[in-house]
């Protein structure tokens, strides 16, 4: 146990150091090649900001993976776990998504091309026999057929990638919500003594620390500020999605039956996923294209209410933590379906109240 704790901490700190070394190099590279996130009507920043912060994420995962391999090579099951089909396909999927993000950040890709690559990367999971096979009582559903589980897995993974990507609209938001989710996953896997996942998670959490430092507190005039870009948000979304699916798949050879798997998975990513659902529903109701970008995400609305970027960040983080507290408190009191229904009601009420406040602030009458 102590050995695994020390290895996990080493992976975390090596990743932190790697991030603080790499990000300044990336900033200089972006400045030299003029690779900036250019302001437009939809974006909140007013100056050109380097957008390749996510490039530093993969090396962090590489360090964590090598550390994990070294640990597990010294166990009786090390090689079996390291060369398992799902871990190989996972590595390929991460590389595909990471490369897609980098190409989009540097050269630009159309939405359809990115979606196609996301589907390819997501399809690798069911191929490796990793898929959602149980809903643990959500909507009264428990075990589900493999084909249904495979389709659901692909849809969920693509959805999570885009949720993390779309929530990345203000400084620190996507990375902060990812840190919260990763912390929850770390706690889950640590309790089950599945340390190889803990080490991988620690490696990813580590690089987010230097990124957040440069993203939130970096000075534009000193070329210290950076955005993660699609290379970062898509990679974070893919890794989070895979870990959640790994947790949700009932496999008695890995973990015992987890009655709260569906609820915990929804809870850890509730704010970004609910935000995407709400935006899509609003666009449909107003007869707008689903994939057309706008300024109707939760962070946009909080800023229209008068909050600064940092204040909006703090409020959204607080909202995420409140949902976690509520769901954990209700876990043994209600069925998972009812808890998620309560989450939806609270989220709708939050936005309804926020809309009223914004309209009053702007001197407009409130209409449904």
Domain count, the chain: 1
pLDDT tier at 51, thresholds 50, 70, 90 = confident
Q: How many Cα atoms occupy the beta-carbon half-sphere of 198 within 13 Å?
A: 21
Q: Which domain holds residue 24?
A: 2-268
Q: Is residue 291 part of a domain?
A: no
Q: How large is the average pLDDT for residues 30-36?
A: 82
Q: What is the dihedral of CA 74, 245, 93, 56, to 10 degrees?
A: -70
For the ranges 80-84, 142-146, 317-321, the lowest mean pLDDT is seen at 80-84
CB atoms within 10 A of CB 152: 18
Q: Is residue 311 part of a domain?
A: no
pLDDT tier at 79, thresholds 50, 70, 90 = very low
Query: How far from chain centre, in Å, is Cα 231?
Result: 12
Label the pairing between strands 36-37 and 49-50: antiparallel
**Residue 65 or residue 358, greater confidence:** 358
Name the phi and psi angles at 140, rounded to 5.
75, 10
Grouping H, G, I as helix, E, B as strand and the rest as coil, residue 50 is strand
Q: Is residue 295 part of a domain?
A: no
- Please check the confidence at residue 255 and state whether its pLDDT lies above 90: no
Q: Is residue 284 part of a domain?
A: no
* Calpha distance 152→304 (Å, rounded): 36
Q: Is residue 296 part of a domain?
A: no
- Please check the confidence at residue 288 and state whether its pLDDT lies above 50: yes
Q: Is residue 300 part of a domain?
A: no
The reply, when asked if residue 230 is annotated as ligand binding, is yes
The reply, when asked if residue 315 is annotated as ligand binding, is no
User: In Å, what is the CA distance from 340 to each residue of 149, 164, 270, 331, 334?
Assistant: 20, 20, 10, 10, 10
For the ranges 148-152, 203-207, 217-221, 247-251, the lowest mean pLDDT is seen at 217-221
Q: Is residue 125 part of a domain?
A: yes
Query: How far from chain centre, in Å, is Cα 207?
Result: 14
What is the tens place of the pLDDT at every residue in 309-335? 999 999 999 999 999 999 999 998 999
Q: State the pLDDT at residue 127.
A: 94
The token duo for 238 is: 């893919």
Q: State the pLDDT at residue 2.
A: 73
Q: What is the mean pLDDT of the chain?
A: 87
Give me the DSSP letters along 68-129: HHHHHTTSTTHHHHHT-HHHHHHHHHHHHHHHHHHHHHHT---HHHHHHHHHHHHHHHHHTT
E strands, the chain, are 36-37, 49-50
Q: State the pLDDT at residue 365.
A: 59
* Contact of 214 with 53, CB cutoff 8 Å: yes
What is the tens place of the pLDDT at every residue in 184-242? 999 999 988 888 888 889 999 999 999 999 999 988 777 788 999 899 999 999 999 99
Q: Is residue 332 part of a domain?
A: no
């Amino acid at each position: 146990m102590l050995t695994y704790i020390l290895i996990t901490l080493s992976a975390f700190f090596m990743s932190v150091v790697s991030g603080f070394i790499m990000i300044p190099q990336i900033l200089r590279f972006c400045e030299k090649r003029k690779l900036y996130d250019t302001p437009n009507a939809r974006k909140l920043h007013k100056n050109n900001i380097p957008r390749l912060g996510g490039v530093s994420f993969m090396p962090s995962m590489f360090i964590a993976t090598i550390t994990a391999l070294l640990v597990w090579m010294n166990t009786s099951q090390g090689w079996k776990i390291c060369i398992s089909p799902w871990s190989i396909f996972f590595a390929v999927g991460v590389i595909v998504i990471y490369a897609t993000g980098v190409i989009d950040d540097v050269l630009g890709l159309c939405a359809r091309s990115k979606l196609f690559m996301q589907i390819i990367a997501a399809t690798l999971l069911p191929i490796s026999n990793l898929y959602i096979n149980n809903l643990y009582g959500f909507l009264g559903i428990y075990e589900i057929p493999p084909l249904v589980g495979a389709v659901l897995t692909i849809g969920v993974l693509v959805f999570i990638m885009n949720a993390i990507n779309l929530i990345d609209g203000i400084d620190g938001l996507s990375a902060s919500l990812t840190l919260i989710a990763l912390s929850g996953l770390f706690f889950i896997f640590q309790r089950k003594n599945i340390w190889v996942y803990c080490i991988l998670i620690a490696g990813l959490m580590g690089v987010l620390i230097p990124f957040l430092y440069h993203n939130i507190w970096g000075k534009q005039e000193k070329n210290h500020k950076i955005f993660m870009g699609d290379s970062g948000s898509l990679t974070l979304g893919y890794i989070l999605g895979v870990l959640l699916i790994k947790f949700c798949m009932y496999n008695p050879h890995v973990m015992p039956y987890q009655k709260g798997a569906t609820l915990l998975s929804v809870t850890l990513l509730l704010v970004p996923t609910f935000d995407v659902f709400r935006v899509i529903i609003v666009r449909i109701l107003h007869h707008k294209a689903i994939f057309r970008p706008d300024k109707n995400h939760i962070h946009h609305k909080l800023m229209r209410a008068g909050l600064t970027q940092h204040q909006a960040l703090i409020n959204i983080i607080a909202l995420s933590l409140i949902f976690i507290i509520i769901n954990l408190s209700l876990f043994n009191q209600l069925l998972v379906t009812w808890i998620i229904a309560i989450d939806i009601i609270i989220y709708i009420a939050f936005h309804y109240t926020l809309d009223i406040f914004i309209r009053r602030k702007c001197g407009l009458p409130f209409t449904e």
